[in-house]
Amino acid sequence: MKILAIETSCDETAVALVEGDGSSFTVLENLVSSQISTHQQYGGVVPEVAARMHVPVLPPMIAALTGWKKGDIDAVAVTTGPGLSTALRVGVETAKALAVSWGIPLVPVDHIEGHIYANFLDRTVRADAFPILCLIVSGGHTELVLMKDHGEYTFLGQTRDDAAGEAFDKTAAQLGLSYPGGPSVSLAASKGNAEAYILPRPMLWTEDYDFSFSGLKTAVRNLIAGFDSPSDQMIADVCASFQAAVVEVLVKKTHNAAMECMPKTVMLCGGVSANRALRGALQAVFAKTDIAVLVPELTYTTDNAAMIGAAGLRGLVDGKAAQDPLVIDADSAKTLGGHWKWE
């Protein structure tokens, strides 16, 4: 089956063609147009600007996909939420128009489920890889979820305040580093000493699988308030110390959850999965166990439509497609709780 996928939930306009059977997925084409340089001048994403910028860019990107001909696309997949309300609508209405005019089903895709399926792209994840413990770390989400099989999720825990990516973004802003904060903080951290400053490890020892990152951001603010005019090395040291604190908490909580759930695989999902320190630490902590660690290819870590195509193909197999595309709507506040089982 072949699916055309659209993603416009935040500041990336993305389209892709993905082929697969619902268990393995091949990316035929994957186009991403980033708005980051526009939002950088505001220090973060401005929702109305993001939505308006998707409008002129999306149709030519769809037209630029060459790997299909009339009649050989089985369905359209689109991110319906969570995300920025008006930005989502640009993708959703475009997807509806395509599906209606081609007379094919439309599959609504949860953006976070898309990040999970980024791990399935261009590789074979066998049935015996389940159950999979997913650590989801993006700009808006930090969650631990046990995926027992395709489409079967048990929710274990989440952040009580800032998401991991948000903590990187806010810390970068405090330090005068560019948006998005993850890449700029991790670049600076690579030149810094992670033991230079002692920063808190919020909720490291709690017995739940929840997280909290807002206090860490405040600790960084208090730390740098004591600096007169910090050198580049001091900024690098703060970044390294901050990153070490985030990574330690994420890895420890994931390890705790794994020891309880005994998954076959641990999977890293979402934009923060691009972080090399986190990828390395997660792989190291499970290296001597029977639990495999899967991280997405770097191109599929941040927002893209290939991951939406994979989740969409799986949704098609599982009967989640709408035969009447016009019933689909964007739902910006959609939470994973909508179809994820809470325990």
User: Nearer to ligand KG4 by C-beta: 321 or 340?
Assistant: 340
CA distance 264 to 269: 16
CA distance 167 to 162: 6
Shortest Å distance, C-beta 16 to ligand KG4: 15
Kindly tell me which residue out of 142, 295, 303, 307 binds Zn ion, with binding defined by CB under 5 A.
303
- Report whether 31 contacts 6 (CB < 8 A): no
CA dihedral 95, 143, 267, 283 (to 10 degrees): 140
Shortest Å distance, C-beta 139 to ligand KG4: 3
Interface ranges with ligand KG4 (CB under 6 A): 10, 115, 138-140, 165-166, 168-169, 180-183, 186, 270-272, 274-275, 302-303
- Report whether 114 contacts 179 (CB < 8 A): no
- When asked if residue 301 is in the footprint of Zn ion (CB under 5 A), the reply is no
- Cis amide leading into 131 (omega within 30): yes
User: Nearer to ligand KG4 by C-beta: 10 or 18?
Assistant: 10
Shortest Å distance, C-beta 289 to Zn ion: 28
- When asked if residue 241 is in the footprint of Zn ion (CB under 5 A), the reply is no
- When asked if residue 138 is in the footprint of Zn ion (CB under 5 A), the reply is yes
User: Nearer to Zn ion by C-beta: 35 or 138?
Assistant: 138
* Residue 274 binds which entry of ligand KG4, Zn ion, none, CB below 5-8 Å type-dependent: ligand KG4
- Report whether 168 contacts 40 (CB < 8 A): no
Is 216 strand, coil or helix? Answer: helix
- Report whether 267 contacts 294 (CB < 8 A): yes
- # binding residues, Zn ion (CB under 5 A): 2
Nearest to 82 by CA among 315, 334, 303, 312: 334
Shortest Å distance, C-beta 116 to ligand KG4: 11
* Residue 325 binds which entry of ligand KG4, Zn ion, none, CB below 5-8 Å type-dependent: none
The one segment of 102-110, 131-139, 169-177, 225-233 that binds Zn ion by CB under 5 A: 131-139
CA distance 102 to 114: 24
Q: What angle do CA 272, 277, 281 make, to 5 degrees?
A: 105
Shortest Å distance, C-beta 14 to ligand KG4: 10
Shortest Å distance, C-beta 179 to ligand KG4: 8
Site of interaction with Zn ion (CB under 5 A) = 138, 303
